[in-house]
Each structure stands twice: as structure tokens, then as C-alpha cells.
Amino acid sequence: MEKILNHRQTKFLIKSGIIIGSVTAFSDILTTLFYNEKSKEFASNLFEFLKIFAFDLGVSSCLMIGLTIPFLLLDKLNVLAGKTFIYLFGLVLVFIVLLLNKYYATTHLSLGSDLYGFSIDDLQMIIISSTDFSLLAMWPFYTFPISFIILYIYFHVDFYNVKWFTSIILIGILFLVFEMLSKNKKITNLAYFVNDSIDFKKSTAIIKNQVWIGANAYPLLRKYSSENDVLGQYLTLKTQKPNIILIIVEGLGRDFSGEDADYKGFTPFLDSLSQKSLFWTNFVSNAGRSFGAIPSILGSVPFGSSGFLELNKLPSHISLISLLKNYNYKTSYFEGGDAQFDHKLTYLTHEGMENIVDQNSYEPSYIKSPTENGFSWGYPDKEIFKKTLTELKPVGQPRFDLIMTITNHEPFTFNGKESYLTRVKALADKSNFSDVQKEVIDKYKNVFSTLLYTDDAIRDFINQYKSNP
């Protein structure tokens, strides 16, 4: 090593690896401690935190090894240029870790290959709508870089302790290799992102190399047989075609709805419908976001590499919209946001949706959701359903009406929220939730209040629709 690096260069790279690893590890440990419900007690999770520190130290050490050659070249030209090169890469890694941890703190999910499905405009819209830019909320993004700089100023690696620090770094690298081989994706959010990205690239390469010809040309195609009609017995069809209303509910999942929900009771009306309706308990999410859900639900089309709606030219296919139009249905779409967002308008128009109502179609009497950081997604769910009811008039032909809710989405704002927050607390207190579950409910009371609100909005809409002539 010394034949390649002199003492000054060796000490600087060791120092950089330790500082970068320590700063990122501290961010990861705080994120785990405050936002992972299974890691609330520091003492009982000390071993897990030591693993995080070792892992991040291994990552930063490998980064230093990878940057050694360009560092040496720049260092020979100018010592400051070499150091600045390492500083910048270190800060970039710190900011990447902070962003991934911020995403986890906001959504309670680790960001993975979903990132590749976002366009720049999508990311900008999501950041504006979901991020609190106050000085208090953004503290990691200035305290950690400042700590990074302070450590570079005051932390020194002396000749006599180089061997000790080298040993620590080697332990970190060995632990990193062990964790990567064991495929422990979620030791940190950075580890999850890297591993999931690698898996995504591998699966994409496999799909691209598949040959779809001959008997394997359409592997998912099945011949229709009337003998396999499992739904007909539940439907009583008359000569007159029925009106059809399809409601796509934002953010509705198994955690909250259904008999076996972990947080049962926050969608009481929908739960009551499940007792007297066709109800499927084994559905798997068909997309990570709304723009992927619409074509999947309406047309059973594949998501593709970055989303069906991201295709430059939409292929011809059968969808519920086009199929019902062939049967003389009047088709309409209702939402409270911007239908152009995520190319929804393009898809709906392509499929022949005749009447599209979005935030640009609401009269002044309708009230938008309160702004969060100066941003609002549009009109909340109760306003969407109120607007829809004014449009559901007889038109001399059967109707197909598609409604997309919006409120159960960051930043979870709607009018009259205080009364729903009170209901959340009351429900948590009187139900048989564990202490950990009650902590989750209190922490994410905005989400749970929105579930109650959307459930009420759907109940009011259905009851009002049933009473219409």
C-alpha cells in the first residue's frame, strides 16, 4: 500500500472512510430508532446499530478504494484538488443517504427500483406535495453536512493509530461483503435501494432476452369457456343494461380494510360492504402508483419497464372503456386533481372516455383541499363525489362512470380534519390495539384520519346515489 500511497495520502483516505461511514451510519441509526417501530429501544437493539455502523463503514471504505486512482492523479496535480474530489463524493453519498432516509421517514417504506418509474416532473410534483420544507423538518440536510465538515477539520488520523483504523475499516469491508452475500436487503435504506436496483436490472435483462414466438408467443392467453364462468351465479342480468360505477380508492390496502386488517375499524363502511358484496381477499397490488393502476384495472395491460402510460405510442388493446362504448355506454371520468398528471388524460382519451371532469371543471362553490407548503392536489373526496352526483343524470343510454379518489395521499389534507383526528384517537383508545399499534396510529394519525374521511365520503355518495330517482 505504501508503495502506491505515501503516509499523507493513506491517512487522508482512511480518515475520509471513517468520517463518511460515521456520518451515514448516524443518520441510518437515527432513522431506524425513530421510524422503525420494531427498534424503539436503543439498548435492546444495540447489536443492530453496531451492524449498521459496520455496514456503512464498509460502504465508505469501498468507496475510498474505488476512488483511490483518480484521487492519486488529482493529488499529484494539486493536493487541494485531490482532497476536494473526495470531499464532494463523500457529501454526495451523505446526501443520497439523507434523501433515502427522508423518504422512509415520510412513507414508512424503503425506496427501491420504483424510482425508475418516476419522470423528472413526477418527482418534482411529489417532492412539492409531500415534503415539509420548514427549517425544523429539514434539519438533517444541514446538520449532517455541517457535522461532516467539522469532523474533517478536527478529526485526525496519526501515524501510530493508522493500523488500528485500518483494522476497523477491514472489519467494515468484511461485514459489508458478508451482508451483501447474505442478501440482507434492508439493513439500511441505501442497501435496499442498491440491491433492489440490481435485481431490477437483472430481471429487466432476463425479460429483454425472452423469445415470444410459436407456442410461447402469448403465455398468459387463455381460451374463454362458459364452463369457467364463476361470477354468473352472483349476477342477475336483465334486458336493460345496468349503469356501472367504478371507484378507484387511493391508498386503500389490506392493512386497513377487511376482517383480518392489522388496523381494523378505520374503513367501517367499506368493511360493511364486504359482508354483502363480492369481496376478494387475495388481490395483489397491480402497480405502485395511480397512473399504473388505471390501465391495469381497466385493461389488464402489463406495466412494462416504466409504466404503460409512459409509452410514446399506446398499443391497441381492449379496455373496459372501449368495450362498454361498443355496447352504447356513455362514459365519464371524475377526479379532484389534474387529469393530465402522469398521462392519465392521454390514456382516457385514447380509450374513448367521452366526459372527463378534473380540477379544472369545478365551480367556485366547491372547496379545494387546504394547501400544504403552498401546494394542493386539488379537490378532496367529498367534493369529488358531490360533483359526480350533479353529473349522474339520465342520458337515454347506460352509463359507465369512473371515479378516482385523491385525499388518501400525502399530504393528507382536507377540510374538517380536526373532527376526524378526534375520531382516530377515540377509536385507538377503545379498540384492542397493542401499545405498538397505538404508537403507529398516533404517529400517522393524518393517514388514519384520511381513511375515515374517505370511507365517509364513499358512504355518503352511495347512500345519496341510491336515493336518486
Contact 31, 106 (CB under 8 A): no
Distance CA(53)–CA(58), nearest Å, equals: 9
Whether 190 and 245 map to the same domain: the answer is: no
Contact 139, 102 (CB under 8 A): no
User: Across the chain, what does the average pLDDT equal?
Assistant: 82
- Say yes or no to pLDDT of 288 above 90: no
pLDDT at 126 (0 to 100): 64
Tell me, what CATH number does 353's domain have? Answer: 3.40.720.10
Whether 168 and 253 map to the same domain: the answer is: no
pLDDT at 352 (0 to 100): 92
Whether 178 and 245 map to the same domain: the answer is: no
pLDDT at 158 (0 to 100): 60
Instruction: For residue 218, tell me if it sits in a domain.
Output: no
Q: What is the mean pLDDT of residues 143-164?
A: 71
Q: What is the dihedral of CA 304, 309, 313, 317, to 10 degrees?
A: 80
Instruction: For residue 294, tell me if it sits in a domain.
Output: yes
When computed from its CA atoms, the radius of gyration of the chain, rounded to whole angstroms, is: 27
Task: State what percent of residues in the chain have pLDDT above 90.
Answer: 29
Q: What is the mean pLDDT of residues 332-354?
A: 89
Whether 167 and 278 map to the same domain: the answer is: no
Instruction: For residue 115, tell me if it sits in a domain.
Output: yes
Instruction: For residue 301, tell me if it sits in a domain.
Output: yes
Whether 196 and 295 map to the same domain: the answer is: no
Tally of domains in the chain: 2
Contact 65, 1 (CB under 8 A): no
Whether 198 and 266 map to the same domain: the answer is: no
Q: What is the pLDDT of residues 230-284, one digit of tens each?
A: 888 888 888 889 999 999 998 888 888 888 888 889 999 999 998 889 888 877 7
Q: Is the peptide bond before 219 cis (omega within 30 degrees of 0)?
A: no
Whether 129 and 272 map to the same domain: the answer is: no
Q: What is the pLDDT of residues 194-210, one digit of tens each?
A: 888 888 888 878 777 77
Instruction: For residue 114, tell me if it sits in a domain.
Output: yes
Whether 179 and 237 map to the same domain: the answer is: no
pLDDT at 419 (0 to 100): 94
Instruction: For residue 362, tell me if it sits in a domain.
Output: yes
Where among 165, 185, 204 does a domain terminate? 204
Whether 196 and 100 map to the same domain: the answer is: yes
Instruction: For residue 1, tell me if it sits in a domain.
Output: no
| Banded pLDDT at 440 (limits 50, 70, 90) | confident
Quote the domain boundaries for residue 118.
7-204
Q: What is the pLDDT of residues 207-239, one digit of tens each?
A: 777 777 777 777 777 777 777 788 888 888 888
Whether 271 and 144 map to the same domain: the answer is: no
Q: What is the pLDDT of residues 163-187, one digit of tens each?
A: 655 666 666 566 555 655 555 567 7
- Say yes or no to pLDDT of 359 above 60: yes
Whether 144 and 246 map to the same domain: the answer is: no
pLDDT at 453 (0 to 100): 95
- Distance between terminal CA atoms of the chain? 86
| Banded pLDDT at 396 (limits 50, 70, 90) | confident
Q: Which region, left, alpha or beta, applies to residue 453 given φ > 0 means left and ψ of -120 to 50 means alpha?
A: alpha
